[in-house]
Structure 1
């Protein structure tokens, strides 16, 4: 139960009704059968006099009574429910249903065949079928189970006849004649979004590999490499779009801070700086994955699954096509990382300048306080002299006619001397130098 103002909200009412709905149906069906049989028995006793048949009906009634006594009523079941256990069970169900939609044994997927045709609607494939049919291991699906996390380290795994790739929001299983996309709900990009539809359309086009009349010939790359290229292109497009938005917002707020520095602008700059840092880490992870892939010649050769099945095993440096493909996307990702690092450097430089300005303003306020303190100290000297002269005591000054003027003159002179003396020392504090002045050290 949660209290919100004057209202009380039951967080477990819906979930509790779902848990006990089946037992409710059993309980009420037995109860209705009990009432129906009791009515029939009463009518039978009035219309018939055969005691043997009546005894048999009575035994059936007793059996139903015994069964009903063992059924826990819904109200009692609600009272006995453990709240922490309900929370844990509900959390587990929600996590499992993020990618395993109906049960933990199935995974919702979109399948493309060898001709590039995809299933009209996502299908549910059993986990055991994926493992057995495609020569995988159960631990290979750990990346896909955490479908709500988009900041996972990008990985690419090559098995006997299968490529598993996890890149940003894409989780895919690639074979020489099939591509299986794992529909991960909650990954930041909806399945019906414009970006996802564009990716599916581009993937279909590359998998079909049809030549057109516009002097566009077929791609010489095999089926699995065309699928990889489409996934790399989708990731690069998303990163480029996100980078443009972040850079435009950051540059705009930096330009505004040149004219005025307000608390709202500083908070907005802080939030944009955090998002820029997260994006920078994500871009570096993708770039490092491609870099590691380029440095592993054995991995590059193992990506040619079609050639290996046809008896042409790639080895050594016989991987120019995929190497050039990955180098192209690596250079583009490196440009994105450089742009983001430059933007982060500009943000940090602006933050340092803002801190210097704020420190300077703080120092000015401190100096202003010191000036007021010097003025009060100087005025305190003449006030001290005036208080002594105003004491109701006999002294020689009262016997002269110039006593009042003398006291005022001495007080004013002392006040001015003290003020200018300490004011000159304060001026030396305002002068900052990167080197130590020997004359100043000698004076000290």
Structure 2
């Protein structure tokens, strides 16, 4: 008997453990998501990664990954961390590191354009990198020619200096700011922001093309169909304005905080950690004389405060350009919103005018009703079963009485209308 009970207990334990294993496997399978991994070399592959793998790969905490969850609604945000940047803008949900970019696939048509733009940006950086990392003994003329053909942002006045590389002198790119290229994380971030701006610009343009004709038609003819169209347009306008404001607020918050922008210099932080320097300081390459008099302590304090300020001019210029573009979209949306408000005010004025006309017609009919009631009272008097001398008169007396009653009613109506216009109760 005990053996049977022991066997039954072991079977139950085995079933529970197998169910736990299946549940664990199912949870892991549900946690897997398809991510498009885009490397700095321009290669892209699709990988199925779970949350813990991404945390180990990017160094992000779990709360930051919730921002990228498609099933949850989070406002637009750009978060800089120690080893990565979290981007949640419109249709783009991505994690950017110093050498790769993990993107959640989206069904939006702008996502395909975003990938094409990203692939067009990265090869340019690789070509520039080849030029900067090449030593002596390489044909600099062919490299400079390829560089110009790739569409690199070089000024015409510096093309001749590039051609001088064929004479055996290779130009150091670090000596000139015109050849300075953005690191991979900034190129990916710029592609994300530009795609979000393009999406908002496209939707704004479509909304304007539909809104202005619908509002003009509603102003000329007030109908239920036109009112319904304008209601849908206004709902889209409010939603689009909210989305644009969230992107603009995020960019503005980044521009106001230099430390947040400094966190996004991933490549710079890796380079500084490798050589043991203080990251992102303007005075990191300056040599300071150790023999400083005590009288110069105030100057030293000022220098240290200047040195501690992060150098984020590169990223600041990038964000300011798109912040200005978002502001332009917001101004157009504001103009459209003002046009909607003006149309609503015009419609309210028209409705008030119609209401006043209806009130005037109601007054006229009420006056007519009172006067006709007076005529009915005269008819009622003659309809009484009493004897008066008028009943014994000639037929002309009957018609004279009827005509006099109608004439009196008409005269009273005319006098009432004249008095109403004189008192401005009725329109002139």
Structure 1 CA distance for aligned equivalents of residues 380 and 397 of structure 2:
14
Note the alpha carbon deviations across 1:148-173, whole angstroms, 9 max, x for none.
56x63111222211111111111111
2:35 paired with 1:109: yes
Which residue, 124, 141, 151 being the options, matches 1:216?
151
Q: What are the equivalent positions in structure 2 for 1:60-75 lying under 5 Å apart?
A: none
1:142 Cα deviation after fit: 1.1
Q: Contact 1:110–1:182 at 8 Å: present in 2 too? A: yes
Structure 1 CA distance for aligned equivalents of residues 341 and 74 of structure 2:
27
Question: Structure 1's 271 and 310: CA in aligned 2 closer, same or farther, altered over 3 A?
Answer: same
Note the alpha carbon deviations across 1:295-344, whole angstroms, 9 max, x for none.
01111112111111111511425111111110100011001001011111
2:61 paired with 1:137: yes
2:100 paired with 1:178: yes
CA root-mean-square deviation:
2.7
Q: Contact 2:80–2:261 at 8 Å: present in 1 too? A: no
Q: What are the equivalent positions in structure 2 for 1:17-416 lying under 5 Å apart?
A: 103-119=29-45, 122-145=46-69, 147-148=70-71, 152-184=74-106, 189-190=107-108, 193=109, 195-208=110-123, 209=125, 210=127, 212-214=147-149, 216-217=151-152, 220-311=181-272, 313-315=279-281, 316=309, 318-398=311-391, 403-404=397-398, 407-408=401-402, 410-416=404-410
Structure 2 CA distance for aligned equivalents of residues 243 and 112 of structure 1:
30
1:417 Cα deviation after fit: 4.2
Structure 2 CA distance for aligned equivalents of residues 182 and 418 of structure 1:
82
2:407 paired with 1:429: no
Query: What is the DSSP-based 3-state SS (H/G/I as helix, E as strand, rest coil) of the residue aligned with 1:290?
Result: helix
1:135 Cα deviation after fit: 1.7
1:259 Cα deviation after fit: 3.6
Structure 2 CA distance for aligned equivalents of residues 199 and 280 of structure 1:
22
Structure 2 CA distance for aligned equivalents of residues 198 and 405 of structure 1:
91
1:137 Cα deviation after fit: 1.0
Query: Counterpart of 2:298?
Result: none
Q: Structure 1 unaligned segments of length 5 or more: list them.
A: 1-62, 68-96, 433-444
Structure 2 CA distance for aligned equivalents of residues 333 and 109 of structure 1:
28
Q: Contact 1:199–1:234 at 8 Å: present in 2 too? A: yes
Q: Contact 1:253–1:265 at 8 Å: present in 2 too? A: yes
User: Which protein has greater RCO, CA pairs closer than 8 Å, 6+ apart?
Assistant: 2
Structure 2 CA distance for aligned equivalents of residues 329 and 430 of structure 1:
58
Structure 2 CA distance for aligned equivalents of residues 284 and 430 of structure 1:
49
Note the alpha carbon deviations across 1:39-72, whole angstroms, 9 max, x for none.
xxxxxxxxxxxxxxxxxxxxxxxx9xxx9xxxxx
1:110 Cα deviation after fit: 0.5
Structure 2 CA distance for aligned equivalents of residues 123 and 257 of structure 1:
52
Query: What is the DSSP-based 3-state SS (H/G/I as helix, E as strand, rest coil) of the residue aligned with 1:144?
Result: coil
Count, aligned residues: 325
Q: Which moved more, 1:240-249 or 1:307-316?
A: 307-316
Structure 1 CA distance for aligned equivalents of residues 267 and 412 of structure 2:
94
Q: Contact 1:302–1:314 at 8 Å: present in 2 too? A: no
Q: Which moved more, 1:164-173 or 1:396-405?
A: 396-405
Q: Structure 2 unaligned segments of length 5 or more: list them.
A: 1-6, 12-25, 129-146, 153-178, 282-308
Question: Structure 1's 168 and 415: CA in aligned 2 closer, same or farther, altered over 3 A?
Answer: same
Question: Structure 1's 141 and 327: CA in aligned 2 closer, same or farther, altered over 3 A?
Answer: same
Q: Contact 2:268–2:280 at 8 Å: present in 1 too? A: yes
Structure 2 CA distance for aligned equivalents of residues 319 and 165 of structure 1:
19
Note the alpha carbon deviations across 1:256-307, whole angstroms, 9 max, x for none.
2344332212111111111111001110111011011100111111211111
Structure 2 CA distance for aligned equivalents of residues 143 and 394 of structure 1:
99
Structure 1 CA distance for aligned equivalents of residues 117 and 398 of structure 2:
100
Structure 2 CA distance for aligned equivalents of residues 255 and 416 of structure 1:
45
Q: Contact 1:108–1:182 at 8 Å: present in 2 too? A: yes
Normalising by structure 1, we get a TM-score of 0.67
Q: Contact 1:164–1:174 at 8 Å: present in 2 too? A: yes
1:206 Cα deviation after fit: 1.9
